[in-house]
Amino acid sequence: MHKSVKDIIEKKKLGQKISVITAYDYTLASLCERTGIDILLVGDSAGMVMLGYENTVPVTMEQMIMFTEAVARARQSSLVVADMPFMSYQASISDAIANSGRLVKAGADAVKLEGGKVVSKTISAIVETGIPVMGHIGFQPQTTTLSQGYKVQGKTEETAVTLIEDAKALEEAGVFSIVLEMVTAEVAKIISESVSIPIIGIGSGRFCDGQVLVIHDMLGMYEKIKPKFVKQYLSLSEQITKAVTSYKSEVESGKFPAEENWFSMDRVELDKLIRKIGS
């Protein structure tokens, strides 16, 4: 039995921190599942990490469906949340509802939308259909990257007030939790204390109700962007490069494959074959 939205909300009430990992494929999601991680977030950052895009903007619904299906197949106990990609919910509420449904059919337990007050009506409409929604404010990769670049949010009184108001608007719209990305720790603390739903931080300090990191970042596999807020628990890129280098060397030298790496015929059958073909 996997976790429900209600279970995630309850963790905040009990003062228990919420663990979230962003993953995009069956293999890594399966490994994360073994740990009892609370939420598997299928992020549209897959466009950068898995597909090599410069940002998340080019990611399509079809691609998000594929990644969501892969992660959902690995689900044992975690809640699966899938990102709504750029322009899958901005054009109309009907588009947003339809695309949310497509991700749920792909295996998601909930969907995530970027934006504050501006998307509150859209979120309300999705929630009314019975689909749980996670909000996302602060740095918003789908749009902030285009207009501002990578900047910390909530550094001034004015922007802090806007973030607080956005969080409250999202709670009122019916989200069950909010991702707070690259927001100053002070503002993140105020927001976490101002709403009853869980606040999941990424680069927003330790006062949030939970934390999220991309699995490829924390394992040191994705090196194109190295945000300050990422803690690298392993440096797999170095180990993988070393392993592939060793493989290449052994192939070229003839060391691989060795006898333990291949299959052989029974000697009697081989002798029969040799007699038949006359060699």
Pair (230, 243) in one structural domain: no
Question: Do 223 and 243 sit in the same domain of this protein?
Answer: no
CA–CA distances in Å: residue 68 to residues 71, 102, 103, 216, 271: 5, 10, 7, 17, 53
Whether 158 sits among the annotated catalytic residues: the reply is no
Do 36 and 172 sit in the same domain of this protein? yes
How high is the pLDDT of residue 279? 65
Q: Show the tokens assigned to 63.
A: 């691609």
The whole domain housing 144 covers 5-234
The pLDDT of residue 226 is 79
Residue 278 CB coordination number (10 Å): 5
Percent of the chain with pLDDT over 90: 92
Q: Which CATH number goes with the domain that contains 131? A: 3.20.20.60
Looking at the fold, whether 155 and 138 belong to one and the same domain comes out as yes
Do residues 230 and 261 share a domain?
Answer: no
Structure tokens at 37: 């991680």
- Provide the annotated binding site for 3-methyl-2-oxobutanoate: 44-45, 83, 112
The mean pLDDT of 54-64, rounded to a whole number, is: 96
Sign of the Cα pseudo-torsion (29, 171, 103, 148, in order): negative
Q: What is the mean pLDDT of residues 44-50?
A: 97
Residue positions in the annotated binding site for Mg(2+)?
44, 83, 114
pTM for this structure?
A: 0.94
Using the predicted structure, report yes or no on whether residue 277 has a pLDDT greater than 80: yes
Q: Using one digit for the tens of pLDDT, what is the confidence trace for 169-211?
A: 999 999 999 999 999 999 999 999 999 999 999 999 999 999 9
Task: Catalytic residue, from 181, 193, 252, 260: name it.
Answer: 181
Name the pLDDT band for 135 (thresholds 50, 70, 90).
very high
Provide the domain count of the chain.
Answer: 2
Please check the confidence at residue 146 and state whether its pLDDT lies above 70: no
Same domain, 137 and 155: yes
Model confidence pLDDT, tens digit, residues 225-263:
777 889 999 999 999 999 999 999 999 999 999 999 999
* Binding-site sequence positions: 44-45, 83, 112, 114
Residues 20 and 147 in one domain: yes
Q: Looking at the structure, do residues 95 and 16 belong to the same domain, yes or no? A: yes
Q: Identify the CA nearest to 217 among candidates 239, 242, 238, 235.
A: 235
Q: What is the pLDDT of residue 228?
A: 82
Whether residues 259 and 165 share a domain: the answer is no
If asked whether residues 271 and 215 sit together in one domain, one would say no
190 and 97 share one domain: yes
Per-residue pLDDT at 28: 98
> Are residues 246 and 116 part of one domain?
no
